[in-house]
Structure 1
Amino acid sequence: MKANYRKLLLQGNKWIDGSDEYGLILTDDLDSLLSCSILKQVKGWDVEQVMIFKYDKNQNFDAHGITKNATHEAIGVDLALTNGKCFDNHLTQFKWNGTSNPESINLNRIAGISRDKYYRKYNLSTVLLLWSLYDLPKEKLSDELMMLLIAIDGSFQGFYTEEKYVWIHKHWLVDVLDLPEFYECEKRHTKDEFKEIQKKYNIHKGYGKITLKNGYLSTDIDIERVNDVLGWDTDIVVELPTDGFKKKAIYRDCMRSIDDSTRSISKFSDDVFSYALTNKYTVNYSERIEEKCDIQKQVA
């Protein structure tokens, strides 16, 4: 990562380079899972909690689980926490003069990108953020590995968008993350080839989710193939946690329309665990609920 951007991320967040121990909060896709694996390799931090969005699609519930051995302060991974430490790639600032979580390691935050500049937001994955932040290998990587890393969370889409917006993608990938090799890889391949990579590793649309049942995680991601390609050039190993998770909290998964009058997430609730502006006119958030529901039996 270019030094000036890394310096800005470090302001008030020296913990990202420190030696303190933390636990990780895993979410429900490969962007979070591989990001957790990177943090395990680089920092030695383990997954101690899990946040599964739309756990019960019929009732719009999000499930937050915790292992019985969790002992550390938690860091959200690909999770835009309202408060607390996290790594994420989301947009959370509503107004140009608004605020967002100061403990979020998020390039949109330090660049002052808010809803009114939505089209300029960081449009890459949390994996690429961490790959750059912790100076993981970028030279002489196989095209297969670079394509997989770019395919996660659809990061390649910005390269194949309207020509007038391609500079935004290049800015983040090359000028900020300092990953020109990845940009050259995109130039060598077509959009369809990246879609085939997504299918190969089972992370294409409708697939690639991590699920929670009776307290244990499972996934349809082809983790074996992911580890095969990672093993060519890195020591990173992706592993789904085998520990059981007990219920920590249940959240209602909410989606609300927003406009120029919306100044902060508190307009909708004072008890929001995480949220993200998923487009210029919509915010999605997880609001804590206390009432009993059947989902609690499944997380216990």
Structure 2
Amino acid sequence: MKAIIKDKFPQWCSDMERNQNTLMLTDDFDSLLGCAIEKFIKGNEINYFYNFNKIFVANREDKRKAIGIDLALHKGKSWCNHVVRINENDYVNPQTANINALLKVHSGNYTKKYAMSTALTMWSFYGLPLPKTKEGKMLLLCVDSSFLGHYNDSFKSIHNQYLQLLGFDELVDLLNQTTKSEYFNLQRKFNTKAKIQLNREGYLQTDLPLAELQGFFDFPIELPTQQFTLRNTFKEAKGYTQTTRSKDELNNLVSFALTGKREFKYTFLG
């Protein structure tokens, strides 16, 4: 990652003391891969599961603060890739490690957004070597469909600029040599869009082929085996930028993200 962007990240991202925090997993492969990176680099492990309007916890006795992974938290530490401003001057959580937040992307310049995975941001920040195989590199670009922007003529140059900012010129070259359909085929082959859920007994489960995916990466990718129980419930809502001009108009926010140029979703304490 180039210093021009890396220097903007919150200080906690560079703190390499191990086991300081726990992790909050969400329901997809991007979050799970990000959690695996955090565990590999810093020893932090999953203790919470967030499915947008509920938080579940494994060990209630563990009082360490959690880092949200692929989660647009309004307060607290998080790695994130969402657009979290309605307008340029909206408040943004100062502890969020989010390129779109750091570069002040909002509804008015939404088409300039970083449109790749949270895991790819973390991969770059921590200076991890790319997977050794071509298929491994392609699979990394499949996470959160990080490849898509390259094949949109109106967005390709911006997409490439972000990859270069992350220090991934090799991935630009790879995208130039591959087709969009190859990535769609790989997503189907490894079911990368499969969700992570809690079963009735409170254990995490997924149709992600974790054993197969493991073969492409140099660190374990696994779900925690502990039982989870409900900790918090939030209200959820969506809104539109035509009528809500600022996040300041929303009270008691827990999480917030634009889902398009004109729409957003959020959770709040009610």
Q: Please indicate, yes or no, whether the TM-score normalized by the shorter chain is above 0.5.
A: yes
SS in 1 for 2:227: coil
Match of 2:249 in 1: 267
For residue 90 of structure 1, what is the amino acid of its counterpart? H
Shifted more, 87-96 versus 14-23: the winner is 14-23
**Once the 2 structures are TM-superposed, how far is the Cα of residue 71 of structure 1 from its aligned partner?**
2.8
Q: Distance in 1 between matches of 2:161 and 2:209?
A: 31
**Once the 2 structures are TM-superposed, how far is the Cα of residue 141 of structure 1 from its aligned partner?**
2.4
4+ residue runs over 3 A deviation: none
Q: Distance in 2 between matches of 1:85 and 1:182?
A: 28
**Once the 2 structures are TM-superposed, how far is the Cα of residue 124 of structure 1 from its aligned partner?**
0.6
For residue 215 of structure 1, what is the amino acid of its counterpart? G
Per-residue CA deviations over 1:32-61 (Å, capped at 9, x if unaligned) read 0010000100111000111013xxxxxxxx
Tell me if structure 2 keeps the 8 A contact 1:216–1:243. yes
Of 58, 61, 78, the match for 1:67: 58
The 5-angstrom pairing of residues 110-259 of structure 1 reads 110-138=102-130, 141-161=132-152, 163-174=153-164, 176-204=165-193, 208-213=194-199, 214-230=201-217, 234=218, 236-259=219-242
Match of 1:298 in 2: none
Of 15, 18, 22, the match for 1:17: 15
Q: Distance in 2 between matches of 1:38 and 1:131?
A: 7
Q: Distance in 2 between matches of 1:225 and 1:156?
A: 21
Tell me if structure 1 keeps the 8 A contact 2:23–2:46. yes
**Once the 2 structures are TM-superposed, how far is the Cα of residue 15 of structure 1 from its aligned partner?**
4.8
**Once the 2 structures are TM-superposed, how far is the Cα of residue 189 of structure 1 from its aligned partner?**
1.1
Task: Tell me if 1:45 matches 2:48.
Answer: no
Q: Distance in 2 between matches of 1:126 and 1:80?
A: 11
Q: Name the TM-score, length of structure 2 as normaliser.
A: 0.94
SS in 1 for 2:127: coil
Tell me if structure 1 keeps the 8 A contact 2:136–2:216. yes
Task: Tell me if 1:287 matches 2:268.
Answer: yes
SS in 2 for 1:279: coil
**Once the 2 structures are TM-superposed, how far is the Cα of residue 261 of structure 1 from its aligned partner?**
5.0
Tell me if structure 1 keeps the 8 A contact 2:202–2:227. yes
SS in 2 for 1:64: strand
Structure 1, unaligned runs of 5 or more? 54-61, 290-300
Structure 2, unaligned runs of 5 or more? none
Q: Name the TM-score, length of structure 1 as normaliser.
A: 0.85
RMSD of aligned residue pairs (Cα, Å): 1.5
Tell me if structure 1 keeps the 8 A contact 2:107–2:241. no
Q: Distance in 2 between matches of 1:249 and 1:274?
A: 13
Match of 1:2 in 2: 2
Q: Distance in 2 between matches of 1:281 and 1:102?
A: 24
Tell me if structure 2 keeps the 8 A contact 1:160–1:191. yes
Tell me if structure 1 keeps the 8 A contact 2:150–2:159. yes
For residue 17 of structure 1, what is the amino acid of its counterpart? D
**Once the 2 structures are TM-superposed, how far is the Cα of residue 99 of structure 1 from its aligned partner?**
2.2
Tell me if structure 1 keeps the 8 A contact 2:13–2:97. no
**Once the 2 structures are TM-superposed, how far is the Cα of residue 287 of structure 1 from its aligned partner?**
2.3
* Distance 1:209-1:130 versus aligned 2 partners, 3 A rule: same
Of 87, 91, 97, the match for 2:83: 91
For residue 4 of structure 1, what is the amino acid of its counterpart? I
Per-residue CA deviations over 1:166-203 (Å, capped at 9, x if unaligned) read 111001111x1011111111111111100011011112
Per-residue CA deviations over 1:74-130 (Å, capped at 9, x if unaligned) read 110000101111000000011122221110001111112121100001101001000
Match of 1:294 in 2: none
SS in 1 for 2:216: helix
Tell me if structure 2 keeps the 8 A contact 1:93–1:113. yes
Match of 1:297 in 2: none
Task: Tell me if 1:101 matches 2:124.
Answer: no
For residue 135 of structure 1, what is the amino acid of its counterpart? G
